[in-house]
Structures are given as C-alpha cells and as structure tokens.
C-alpha cells in the first residue's frame, strides 16, 4: 500500500471515528475531548493536501483556542454529579433517517460529478502566497476580520459579565 494512501486512511479513520464519538457520546466531556481527535485528524488532512500554514493555524486556533474554551465552558456549566446524562439527545431516528437521505444524495453527487482537476497538484510552501493574497486582493476582508474579532471580544465580555442592578455599591 503506498504511503500516501496509508496516511490518508489513518487520518480519515481518526477524523471520522472521533466525529462519531462527538455525535454519539452520552457524556458531554467525552464529546468535547473527542473533538480533539477530529481537529488533529483534519489538521493532518490539511498537511496531506500540502496546506502547511492552514494546518498549523488549525492546531493553534482550534486545538489551542476553541477546544480549550469549549472545555472551560463544559466544566463551568455542567454539574459533574449527573455526568451520566449530560448530553441527552432527542429524535435520533428521524434525524438519522433524514441525514441518511441527505448523505446518500450528496455521496451520489460527489461520485457522479465531473470535478475539474489539475493534472499536477501543486506542492510548495504556502506561507508566501497566502501572505501576498491577504495583503493584495483580500486586504479589505482581512481588515474587516480584525474589526469582527474586536467586536466578538467586547461582545463576549458584555454578554457574560454579571449584571449589577439597583443602587451602585460603593467600594
């Protein structure tokens, strides 16, 4: 078996297996930790697709940022005592039926469509090209992104702080 195929199937198994735990586990803590496997697998797939910069960003932002944030929220909100039923689900069978249909249709489309493909996929360091794209054609969305992040930062503080009602307490 060629090395590329071996690596691909290992990463795909890691990604989909962890995603199964995320979607199916009865314990919210297990779901949150299984997300780590999905993010790592997806980062590996990015590296396999020669997207080195995005793979590193995935590890730094998703695993270092978002996942830690989610774990904090899990620890802060859910009572450790009733951990067994922390992640209840409703309507499993209708959802599975609908998604079976949706997944089958999309799978048939993926199989049937004639995708445009380059004969020779590009494999080269991507940092320079991405940097030039950000400071060239994508300069406006890039600057807007910083505003969005600032708004999200302030918004999160405003939403999650404790509301102080009534007369101001001195001191």
Partner 1 sequence: MDGLLLDIGLRHFLFVSLAVFVLGLYCVLTRKNAIGILLGVELILNSANINYIAFSHFSSGNYDGQVFAIFVIMLAAAEAVIGLAIVLGIYQNFSSIDIEAVDSLQG
d(CA 111, CA 100): 16
Radius of gyration for the chain, computed over Cα atoms and rounded to the nearest angstrom: 22
Does 39 contact partner 1 by CB under 8 A? yes
Does 125 contact partner 1 by CB under 8 A? no
CA–CA–CA angle 32, 37, 40 (5° rounding): 125
Q: How many residues appear in the chain?
A: 171
- Give the nearer residue to partner 1 in terms of CB position, either 118 or 170: 118
- Give the nearer residue to partner 1 in terms of CB position, either 158 or 170: 158
Which residue among 80, 81, 82, 110 contacts partner 1 (CB under 8 A)? 110
Check residue 168 and report its DSSP letter.
Answer: P
- Give the nearer residue to partner 1 in terms of CB position, either 138 or 170: 138
Which residue among 36, 63, 74, 83 contacts partner 1 (CB under 8 A)? 74
């Amino acid at each position: 078996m060629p090395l590329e195929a071996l690596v691909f199937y290992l990463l795909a198994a890691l990604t989909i297996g962890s995603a199964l735990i995320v979607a199916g586990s009865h314990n919210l803590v297990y779901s949150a930790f299984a997300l780590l496997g999905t993010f790592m697998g997806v980062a590996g797939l990015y590296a396999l697709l020669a997207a080195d910069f995005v793979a590193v960003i995935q590890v730094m932002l998703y695993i270092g940022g978002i996942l830690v944030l989610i774990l904090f929220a899990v620890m802060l909100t859910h009572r450790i005592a009733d951990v067994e039923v922390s992640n209840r689900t409703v309507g499993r069978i209708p959802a599975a039926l609908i998604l079976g249909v949706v997944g089958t249709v999309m799978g048939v489309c993926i199989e049937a469509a004639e995708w445009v493909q380059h004969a020779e996929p590009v494999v080269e360091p991507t940092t320079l090209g991405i940097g030039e794209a950000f400071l060239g054609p994508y300069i406006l969305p890039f600057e807007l992104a910083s505003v969005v992040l600032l708004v999200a930062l302030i918004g999160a503080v405003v939403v999650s702080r404790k509301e102080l009602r009534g007369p101001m307490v001195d001191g």
